[in-house]
Amino acid sequence: MPRITVGTENGAPIEIHYEDHGSGQPVVLIHGYPLNGNSWERQERELLAAGYRCVSYDRRGFGRSSQPTVGYDYDTFAADLSALLEHLDLRDVVLCGFSMGTGEVTRYLGRYGSARVSKAALFGVIPPFLLKTEDNPEGVDGQVFEDIKAAIVTDRYAFFKGFLDNFNNVDVLAPDRISDQAWQASFNVAVGSSPYASFAVVDTWLTDFRADLPKIDVPTLVMHGTADRILPFEATAARLSDLIADVTVVPVEGGPHNIGWTHPDEVNGALLGFLAGATAALTSAA
């Protein structure tokens, strides 16, 4: 399995597993919580068929990457991404992030700039700043995240059941858009993640990206479900038009958090159009 070393813990290497397939302009796919790089399968298939090179990787603590107890913050996550781009010497890159992965894209561009990057695509976004504060009244009350951490500590497996139900809006969209088998596959991946990481990353969801967003100087596509129960549309995607210079926000009407799986035709069509330069034609996906 292809891996790169991005650090150490107690003398043992911290390794990031990645997959690198196809040729052409590279598209780097950064997964959401609590999944792994394979969660992009419905996008990767179409991207490869359209002639793009697809690079996906598993965030530290998840999938086939190492499961350390250090480095669960967006500065480190962005450094891991940077190490991968440099290792593969990727240029003219399209960075595609889903959920937590949108934080990597945002922090990477805010910290490292766009010398290697030509475009960004963000799905089910976590920026600009999820926590409700005096200067961020649109955010979510902090007790919500304390309750999430408490639920993980009490019974991580039961937590994942409820989380993935809301991740996919199964009460509305199953079985037509999310089968029992697809749900179970996601659950299997989730419970295989590091127990430490699955708890530790909750605090990273409260990262303030407002200083990073104005530094994004590449065309950016944002797609987000209007029925997202994990990251509410109004608290996240709806606010980005005022914070990113060149951004196209595409609401997916009735879409849950996991739009890449439940609404692949809408997501893939918009993504391929964006990559081909058809941004002006993108408005909404019903």
> Which residues are identified as catalytic?
99, 228, 257
Q: Are 67 and 3 in contact (CB under 8 A)?
A: no
Q: Chain centroid to CA 275: how far? A: 18
Distances, alpha carbon 75 to alpha carbons 58, 203, 214, 276, 283, in Å: 16, 13, 17, 31, 33
Show Cβ contacts of residue 193 under 8 Å, excluding neighbours closer than 6 positions: 34, 61, 62, 63, 67
Q: Are 119 and 219 in contact (CB under 8 A)?
A: yes
Q: Are 286 and 258 in contact (CB under 8 A)?
A: no
Q: Are 148 and 204 in contact (CB under 8 A)?
A: no
What b/e readout covers 2-13, taking b as 16+ CB neighbours within 10 angstroms?
ebbebbeeeeee
Neighbours of 49 (CB within 10 A): 10
Q: Are 76 and 68 in contact (CB under 8 A)?
A: no
Give dist(CA 129, CA 170) in Å, integer. Answer: 27
Give dist(CA 106, CA 111) in Å, integer. Answer: 9
Element (H, E) at 3: strand 3-9
